[in-house]
Chains A and B, each alone.
Chain A
Amino acid sequence: MIDSAVADQADSDQPTRRALFSAGVIGAALAMAGSRSASAAANGLSEGDAALVGFAISLELTARDLYDAAIAAGATGQVWSVLREQHESYAQRLAGIAGIPGDIRNDEIFDALVSGFKGATRSAAFEFENVAAATHTELLGVVTDGAAAKSIASIIAIESRHATLLAELAGMADNYDALFHNTATALSPEA
């Protein structure tokens, strides 16, 4: 078992979001989204929407696998297993709407963040939840399908809550900016 309180001290060593972007994550996300679009129109989504929803699915599957990595590394506690399930549910919901198989994670995002999760650092998970919420929020500005937009909104609602919960668990309960204001930069499938 990894002591999260101790592990959190190593947070400064984890890759930052800026580093994540510089690692070329965005391009990979775009490639992944594009690879899904050809099979996507089955549920009536436009190709553009299908690519965007495919991007969101890959992000959620990446989240699932990051939580799995934390659990495999010895993270204990309900929060890890439940959040893992939450993200898998989001991928499944979006896959159902888009008619896209929900089975491809984004390896580059995963590789960039997995060490933080293997350390079972709640602040690593907190940062990821903020990035996920910010990314989905940006998607709402471009996804035209109403059902997909409503599902994405319902995911943003709870991922925002995840972030606040994880901030509290990571010892940031007095840091109101961390608790209530999401300053994360969204991942973009268009970069």
Chain B
Amino acid sequence: MNRFPNPSLGRRQLLRNGGMVLSMGAIVAACGTNRGGSTNPGRLGVADEATPLQQDPINDVVLLRTAQSLEYTVLAIYDSVSAMGELSSAESALAGRFVVDHTRHAATIGSLISAQGGAEFQCSNPFLVDRAVTPILAALDGSDDVHRDLLNIAHAFESLASAAYQDAVGSLTDLSLRKEMMRIGGEENRHATALASAINPDAVFSPAMFGEPLSSDADGFPIPYPIPATFGLLKGIDLVVGARDVEGSRFAIQLQTPAQNTYVYENQSC
């Protein structure tokens, strides 16, 4: 019995016709418009469309409020560092000077915010506190060298502040604010330099400046350098603190310059 009543539709013909269909499909698709379709994820059910989240504008006031929150974050860190009583008298004096400088920076930024018609944000950055400061300080519990950790923490946050001010220059629209930000940013860089010298007195220039690879020290800690690069860096800042866990690892985090999740928007309050 012939299971294919149309004798003209052989395997060869079937392949030929199939190829023609595919070719026509390609031509039609190429000639079509609005072929993108919806990029929304698929939905189940008949619930109302979700209300899109309001995107608060990122303006100069937001950038300034974020900078002010960074200053208060660093001040809170120095409070914690000093309270632990691990610093030498010389280091305590240095930290004391940094507190004076950061307090002045916060006040300066506050004046700039007011001049822009914004409201000051006189407290630590909420996102940074939740995601970085709290876990970093918690990791000091049981540390094999709290003194080492505190210096590294101070250096990391001074470096973060340095990078944050430099980064803000690219986003601020008011030219006079760019200048004021880097006036403060320059001082944060100076703080970071002094701390790097204190932590690592044996080397001044980062090996990366000479095309050599960067490496951690024998215990796995990033090595700070007073001069870390030819140009100011905006990359993440690695921080390692605490004792080794059962797997031999220490608490590690990378601090990033402020972005959408770190900004202090105008509708936020302390």
State which size class the interface on B falls in.
35 or more
Report yes or no: A160 in contact with B209, Cβ–Cβ below 8 A. Answer: no
Query: Is there a chain B Cβ closer than 8 Å to A158's Cβ?
Result: yes
1/0 per residue A135-162: CB within 8 Å of B? 0111011111010011101111111111
Residue of B whose beta carbon sits closest to that of A153: B169
Q: A146-B170, A149-B178 are in contact. Are A154 and B187 (CB under 8 A)?
A: no
B232 near A158 (CB under 8 angstroms)?
A: yes
**Known: A141-B179, A164-B194, A181-B187. Is A176-B97 also a contact (CB below 8 A)?**
yes
Residues 140-172 of chain B: 1 if any A CB is under 8 Å from the residue's CB, otherwise 0? Answer: 000000000000000000000010011001100
Stretch of B1-9, B212-220, B223-231 on the interface side: B223-231
Report A-chain residues with C-beta under 8 Å of the C-beta of B182: 136-137, 140, 153, 156-157
Q: B-side binding surface: helix, strand, loop or mixed?
A: helix
- A140 x B179 contact (CB < 8 A): yes
Beta-carbon nearest neighbor of A86 in chain B: B230
Residue A179 is within 8 A (CB to CB) of chain B in the complex = yes
Main secondary structure of the interface of A (DSSP, over half): helix
Contact indicator A158/B189 (Cβ below 8 Å): yes
Whether B175 sits at the interface, judged by CB under 8 Å, is yes
Query: Does residue B126 face the partner (Cβ distance < 8 Å to A)?
Result: no
* With A142-B175, A153-B178, A161-B227: A180-B187 Cβ-Cβ less than 8 Å: yes
Q: When the two chains form the complex, which single residue of B185, B194, B209 contacts A157, counting CB atoms closer than 8 Å?
A: B185
Is A156 in contact with B197, judged by CB distance below 8 angstroms? no
Q: Is A182 an interface residue (CB 8 A)?
A: yes
B190 within 8 Å of A (CB atoms): yes
- The listed residue (A85, A93, A137, A179) touching B190 by CB distance below 8 A is A179
A154 engages B227 (CB within 8 Å):
no
The 6 closest A-B pairs by CB, nearest first: A157-B232, A141-B179, A160-B186, A154-B232, A154-B231, A153-B169
Question: Which B residues are within 8 Å of any A CB, using their own CB?
Answer: 94, 97, 101, 162, 165-166, 169-170, 175-176, 178-179, 182-183, 185-187, 189-194, 197, 204-205, 209, 226-233
Q: Beyond the given A157-B182, A157-B189, please list 20 additional residue pairs across the A-B interface where CB-CB is below 8 A.
A: A79-B204, A93-B231, A133-B186, A138-B179, A140-B179, A141-B176, A149-B175, A150-B166, A154-B232, A156-B166, A156-B232, A157-B186, A158-B227, A158-B231, A164-B190, A164-B193, A164-B226, A165-B204, A165-B226, A179-B194
Q: Which A residues are closer than 8 A to B by beta carbons?
A: 78-79, 82, 85-86, 89-90, 93, 133, 136-138, 140-144, 146, 149-151, 153-165, 168, 176, 179-182
